[in-house]
Structure 1
Amino acid sequence: MPAASTPHFSTKDRILSAAEALFAEFGFVGTSLRQVTSRADVNLAAVNYHFGSKDNLVAEVFRRRMDEMSRARLEQLETARQQSPGALEPVLRAFIEPALALSLERDGGAAFVRVLARAYAERNDRLRKFLSDNYGHVLREFSRAIAECLPQLEKESLYWRLDFLAGALTYAMADFGLLRRPDGDEPMHAQRAADELVAFAAAGLRAT
């Protein structure tokens, strides 16, 4: 039985990987299902069987990466709260490090970062609602944790600064900065990026 189900899953993964690469290159509106089926070497019936619609395919591209990242963030946050209660930097590391780790994934991590950037840039209300419904709780949990560390910070200022942090993190994940990621030393570069972004974010969040 398990052997018979293997092609079933590999077909789904091929479709997801093809869609992810195409969304990164052409955007959500600019990518057709015909392009996806051509790159994945499947027919349209396979896409309909696994996903039902293009909107569902977009959602599953995000689920494949963000479910694991969200789990890692919340687990690291729980550890930070237990081991360093009231400390801001461990909370920020819990938010930043899993995201930078995702960008290093060999099987499409860089492509997904571009997909994520497009989700911010393109006006797609359905996608934004999906992301809010499924991952908004992660941001709310971090908002509460940061508010506990900085009780003097007004809620509106906190939300502004978290928006800036999310933007800076997406920029760092995409490797758009002046300091390019060196070939062969990506983990060390990502750790340096995390260290610098934690220090930057902590200073910004503490600013009066």
Structure 2
Amino acid sequence: MSLQHFSTKDRILHAAEELFAAQGFATTSLRQVTSRADVNIAAVNYHFGSKDNLVNEVFRRRMDEMSAERLKALKHALDTRPGELEPVLAAFVEPALAMAQDRHGGGAFIRVIARAYAESNDSLRKFLSDQYGHVLRDFAKAIDACVPGLGKETLYRRLDFLSGALTYAMADFGLIKRPHGVSEATHRERAAKALIRFAAAGFQADAN
């Protein structure tokens, strides 16, 4: 579908997401964004105010929904299978992989996430910490209840490892490609199960 079918704000977000994915945050200029979105610079200033705010909003429109799905799944896991680690990890992993499968820009956003890991952007990191840090804290608390005694540093380090592995799986950039005849949904489901089991073993490993 052409960008012209979207609102001005959505056109700007789509264009920015694609350019950030391809070029990174520092290299992409607002003029490039406005050219791709077919809007003027005043429209960017009106809707976002600055390039930093535009970067933040590219993340917000994906992360708000994914975070809500994660917390909903986490509550269900804690209510129905208390003390079990794998359902908690599934609540973290599965909504992210579902977002990656979204054909309306999900793939581009995964590359944007990878850019956020690779580039030093203090403003973006503060925004993500302020807006979504509570989600990681809720998962850390739930994991700690399943695997007590890890200690805060070890727990958060392993959660960082899981986040990195999940981003890699979301990008589908690894050695295991989708086999012929296997649907995208089935391929993602298999990846999720394998990652959850792998992560569970990592969290349950001796901390020493």
TM bucket normalised to smaller = over 0.9
Residue in structure 1 matching 2:159, options 159, 162, 166: 162
Unaligned runs of 5+ in 1: 1-6
Q: Residues of 1 paired with 2:179 and 2:92: CA distance? A: 24
Percent of aligned pairs with the same residue? 70
Deviation at 1:80, TM superposition (A): 0.2
Residues 1:145 and 2:162 are matched in the alignment: no
- Aligned counterpart, 1:3: none
Aligned ranges for residues 36-185 of structure 1 at < 5 Å? 36-181=33-178, 185=183
1:177 shift after superposition? 0.5
Which consecutive residues of structure 2, in runs of 5 or more, have no partner in the other structure?
A: none
After TM superposition, give the deviation of residue 145 of structure 1 in Å.
Answer: 0.2
1: CA distance, partners of 2:116 / 2:129: 12
TM-score using structure 2 length: 0.94
Instruction: Compute the displacement of 1:182 (Å).
Output: 5.1
Deviations 1:73-112 (A, max 9, x none): 0000000000000000000000000000010111110000
Distance of 2:35 and 2:153 partners within structure 1: 47
Q: Distance in 1 between matches of 2:69 and 2:179?
A: 25
Task: Give the whole-Å Cα distance in 1 for the aligned partners of 2:71 and 2:179.
Answer: 29
Q: Alpha carbon RMSD of aligned pairs, Å? A: 1.5
- Name the counterpart of 1:197: 195
Please tell me the residue identity of whatever aligns with 1:60: E
**Matched position secondary structure for 2:150:** coil
With structure 1 as the length reference, what TM-score do the two structures score?
A: 0.94
SS in 1 for 2:7: helix
**Corresponding residue SS for 1:19:** helix
Structure 1 runs of 4+ aligned residues shifted over 4 Å read none
Shift of 1:153: 1.9
CA–CA distance in 2 between the matches of 1:91 and 1:191?
16
What is the number of equivalent residue pairs in this alignment? 202
